[in-house]
Homo-oligomer: A and B are copies of this chain.
Amino acid sequence: MDLLKIGGRDFSSRLFVGTGKFPSNKLMLESILASGSEMITVAMKRIDMQHEEDDDMMRHINRDKVQFLPNTSGVRNAEEAILAAKLSRDCFGTDFIKLEIHPDPKYLLPDPIETLKATEVLAREGFVVLPYIQADPVLCKRLEEVGSAAVMPLGAPIGTNKGLKTRDLLEIIIAESRVPVVIDAGLGAPSHAADAMEMGADAVLVNTAIAVAGNPVEMAVAFKLAVEAGRKAYLAGLGRQSTFAQATSPLTSFLD
């Protein structure tokens, strides 16, 4: 069976789903279930509301099947990230942590230096670290060297829905990486997710595109199918692009 292994755990779904921006917690929950995802990101902020409806949301998710992936969104440096990771371990009861360190609130782009620092510390302390980073092949290797459980390069700036704008660099990352490559951020349509999987990515993370869709639950299903399609195509072996036409039909010769 085609399983993805991260942090000693097996995943049969290669679609990771984020929980932000949904119109309601009810729609979020239904979308997550519809997506078939086994890895869902949860924001630290939610722990402030644990006696409220969010807490309720958590109860509906079967954590034997679904891995929570707390993120550190909002922290600005390694120190804050490490603190946030430790708090999240207590709150969510998991060593998995999605490292997001973005000092700039406008574009929310990741800081390579602080991310490497925090990854090194957290990996040493037993965390399963999945860092959100630029599509920077050298940084990916360095993260791998300090114990990153996977790398999560961005396809396009977060929330832009633009697709695989960093394609040329992602191809290098996928070719060189010895840890799973999860394309994070920028995937705005199922075709983008299929594209990422066809390139050989190990998984994708989608949030905005599902959460802001006209019908988030149906969109979650669409992404589920697209990720399966892309993975299957990768395994089945895609043909090459060519410059010249090649007839698919035997040319009709009966008229000659």
* A binding-site residues for B, Cβ under 8 Å: 18-21, 41, 43-48, 71-75, 80, 83-84, 87, 100, 102-113, 116, 134-139, 141-142, 156-162, 165-169, 172, 188-192, 194-195, 198, 207-209, 211-216, 218-219, 221-226, 228-230, 232-233, 235-255
A20-B250, A21-B248, A244-B159 given; A229·B103 CB < 8 A: no
Q: With A and B bound together, what is the CA distance between A85 and B250 in angstroms? A: 16
The 8 Å CB contact of A237, one of B45, B113, B136, B214, is B214
Give 7 A-B pairs besides A166-B169, A213-B238 with Cβ atoms closer than 8 angstroms: A18-B248, A106-B244, A109-B172, A134-B135, A165-B167, A166-B166, A213-B233
Q: With A and B bound together, what is the CA distance between A82 and B134 in angstroms? A: 26
Residues in B neighbouring A253, C-beta threshold 8 A: 45, 74
Q: With A and B bound together, what is the CA distance between A72 and B249 in angstroms? A: 9
Residues in B neighbouring A113, C-beta threshold 8 A: 112-113, 116, 139, 142
Residues in B neighbouring A134, C-beta threshold 8 A: 134-136, 138-139, 169
Number of copies: 4
A106-B244, A246-B158, A255-B75 given; A188·B238 CB < 8 A: yes
Residues in B neighbouring A136, C-beta threshold 8 A: 109, 112, 134, 136
Residues in B neighbouring A228, C-beta threshold 8 A: 222, 225
Q: With A and B bound together, what is the CA distance between A225 and B226 in angstroms? A: 6
A74-B252, A74-B255 given; A194·B189 CB < 8 A: yes
